[in-house]
Amino acid sequence: MTSPLKAPKALIFDMDGVLVDSEPLHKRAKQMAFQEAGIHFPEQTYDNYKGRPDATMFHEVLAGKSVDDIAELLHRKHQHFEKIEHELQPIPGAVEFVKWAAARYRLALATSATPRNRAAALQSLGIADCFESLVDTARFERPKPDPEIFQVAMQDLKLNAAECWIIEDSLPGVRAGKAAGCITVGITTTFDPASLCAAGADLIVKSFGELRTVLENV
């Protein structure tokens, strides 16, 4: 912890990497789309875009290609992901934690996933009804680390930043949470503690069990 913690009224969750272990599937889908087009990137390229929207990656790594070509590759990536998304697994303890938290706090989801992928993931987890606010790519314009996505969630909840904790796994997500003015929890499902700390996380946990213990003692 970097500062004393105040008990929240609401918890705002990221989805990919926080509730579902989707990063490996997204990476595979991207690789399949690029390989079909005869494009190959080193592993580091994919790692550099963890926690960032597909559109951001595709427009940056495919700079120089036409808008139509980029749109087609994005479409192919989404098709590949939908074919393998049945392999999605929840982050250990995530479903149990959300159900526990829903009885004690107001909950929001703020994800860079598309509306279709957001709905499919929550349905597979069986926790869609736990959230008062659902924010996906249909409801914001500026991707993380811009705080807009979290600001939309707080507007839905009619709460201010001091009343909300954000749970994130990615570095852009942590930076967005801090830019929104919220206590930001970094969970070490995607990045190591040192990286999350450097991004500004107020609290770093290795599991949802650890986070529950913190909340029960705040």
Q: Which structural domains are found in the chain, ordered by start? A: 10-21+89-217 (3.40.50.1000), 23-87 (1.10.150)
Residue 1 has a pLDDT of: 52
pLDDT, residue 192, reads 95
The model's pLDDT over 52-83, given as tens digits with 9 standing for 90+, comes to 888 889 999 999 899 999 999 999 999 999 99
Residue 158 φ/ψ, nearest 5 degrees: 60, 45
Q: In whole angstroms, what is the distance from residue 32 CA to residue 41 CA? A: 11
**In this predicted structure, what is the pLDDT of residue 49?**
85
Overall pTM surpassing 0.85 (yes/no):
yes
Q: How many residues does the chain have?
A: 218
pLDDT on residue 3: 54
d(CA 127, CA 134): 12
Q: Which of 41-55, 92-106, 129-143, 151-165 has the lowest mean pLDDT?
A: 41-55
What pLDDT is stored for residue 52 in this prediction? 80
CA-closest candidate to residue 18, choices 211, 158, 183, 160: 211
User: Residue 4: pLDDT above 80?
Assistant: no
CB-based burial, 32-53: b 16+ in 10 Å, e otherwise: bbbeeeeeeeeeeebeebbbbb
Q: Taking all residues of the chain, what is their mean pLDDT, rounded to a whole number?
A: 94
Phi, psi of 111 (to 5 degrees): -125, 150
> What pLDDT was estimated at residue 53?
82
Q: Write the pLDDT tens digit of every residue in 117-159.
A: 999 999 999 999 999 999 999 999 999 999 999 999 999 999 9
- Looking at residue 48, its pLDDT comes to 85
pLDDT at 199: 97
Per the CB < 8 A criterion, the answer to whether 23 and 173 are in contact is no
- Whether the ω angle into residue 92 lies within 30 degrees of 0, i.e. cis, is no
Q: Which residue has the higher pLDDT, 47 or 170?
A: 170
- C-alpha to C-alpha distance for 138 and 94, rounded to whole angstroms: 24
Contact yes or no for 172/52 (Cβ under 8 A): yes
Across residues 158-185, what is the average pLDDT?
A: 97
